[in-house]
Amino acid sequence: MIKLAVIGTSWITERFIAGAIASGKYELKAVYSRSLEQAKAFAEKFAVELAFDNLDQLAECREIDTVYIASPNSYHAPQSIQMMKQGKHVICEKPMASNYTQAQLAYKTAEENNVVLFEAFMSPYLPNFQVMKAQLPSLGSIRKAHITYCQYSSRYPKYLNGENPNTFNPEFSNGSIMDIGFYCVGSMIELFGEPKSIQAQAHLLDSGVDGNGSIICGYDGFDVVVMHSKTSDSYVPSEIQGENGAILADMISIGEKITKITRGGKTENLTVEQNDNPMIYEALKFAEQVEANQMDKHAVERSLLISKVTTEIRKQTGVVFPADS
């Protein structure tokens, strides 16, 4: 069993723990929070005895071998590096790093310490995403793609009321492209690889991060239009168009529904059954690498490319984080 510790006590941590335990590969051993009281309260939910508010002590703890990191974005790379230097395997929430330089350093640290570093980007491991990817050749030559994720943030009203929640705070390397926009860019790279050109624009909030934006990425013979927003909702699916037909993906981040429409108008529902907790699939993929003590080359390359592309997007749109300096 993989002896797991978690950094962070939010809902996403609870959901990952549920997926990890359901996979049958993990045993939760420790919880970290900046508040020891909060760490203990969270640990009690899972009958876990070890609670920390000191990262050094967590990193040195011999009762764990793996850490799941779900702290604010700006802490992801530094905390991952700290844990890996003490021999811990790390699965880190996306985005794994604030910028491309940090991402490169994190993977270099993993290699130097002979541990596994894995970005918790669940979409490529979902059965419905894999169905969609497998069906791409049936579309013939790809000619257009539109990948979208727009969801009005529950924290946006707080921002409008004069507060400065983490979601819209550059101190925490946040904003639309680093949150839900990540799923769009990540899905694009998983499906099509590195774009040959990038044209990005965004609406920046007064805090300095992007509230929404759009990107046109050029590939041989087609382009991909990405739309992302934390200040509005969208109800249209993502779409990949080929000369023989199109594939539609409802909520591409979680593979809610996959539909294929041929050029003649025939519609086919390609959706397959998935676990109610989509995080189980990334937990299984990470466990596979830990058990082999070897990082998946494709996952590493994809993670680095996503960071490279999102860093370029921020450069073009003028979103700057303290972590960039």
Q: Please give the pLDDT value at position 210.
A: 98
Q: Please give the pLDDT value at position 197.
A: 98
- Yes or no: say if 10 and 70 are a contact pair by the CB < 8 Å rule: yes
Pairing of strands 222-229, 210-219: antiparallel
Count CB-CB contacts under 10 A for residue 24.
11
Do 161 and 208 share a domain, yes or no? yes
The CATH number covering residue 227 comes to 3.30.360.10
pTM over 0.75: yes
Q: Please give the pLDDT value at position 309.
A: 98
- Yes or no: say if 105 and 121 are a contact pair by the CB < 8 Å rule: no
Number of domains in the chain: 2
End-to-end CA distance of the chain: 40
Do 158 and 14 share a domain, yes or no? no
Q: Please give the pLDDT value at position 7.
A: 98
- Yes or no: say if 3 and 50 are a contact pair by the CB < 8 Å rule: no
Burial (CB < 10 A; 0-12, 13-18, 19+), residue 257, is middle
Do 270 and 286 share a domain, yes or no? no
Q: Please give the pLDDT value at position 111.
A: 98
Do 100 and 80 share a domain, yes or no? yes
Do 97 and 192 share a domain, yes or no? no
**Which structural domain, as residue segments, surrounds residue 35?**
2-121+280-293
Question: Which of 57, 77, 46 lies closest to 323 in space, CA to CA?
Answer: 77
Q: Please give the pLDDT value at position 4.
A: 98
Do 106 and 188 share a domain, yes or no? no
Question: Which of 148, 149, 140 lies closest to 241 in space, CA to CA?
Answer: 140
**Tens digits of residue pLDDT in 34-83:** 999 999 999 999 999 999 999 999 999 999 999 999 999 999 999 999 99
Do 81 and 110 share a domain, yes or no? yes
Q: Please give the pLDDT value at position 110.
A: 98
Q: Please give the pLDDT value at position 82.
A: 98
Do 251 and 130 share a domain, yes or no? yes
Do 268 and 175 share a domain, yes or no? yes
Do 174 and 315 share a domain, yes or no? yes
Decide if 227 is inside a domain.
yes
Mean pLDDT of 3-23: 97
**Tens digits of residue pLDDT in 123-161:** 999 999 999 999 999 999 999 999 999 999 999 999 999
Beta strands in 8-108 (DSSP E): 26-32, 50-52, 66-69, 89-93
Do 270 and 284 share a domain, yes or no? no
Q: Please give the pLDDT value at position 313.
A: 98
Tokens of 287: 């466990």
Average pLDDT of every residue of the chain = 97
Question: Which of 241, 228, 249, 243 lies closest to 309 in space, CA to CA?
Answer: 228
- Yes or no: say if 103 and 97 are a contact pair by the CB < 8 Å rule: yes
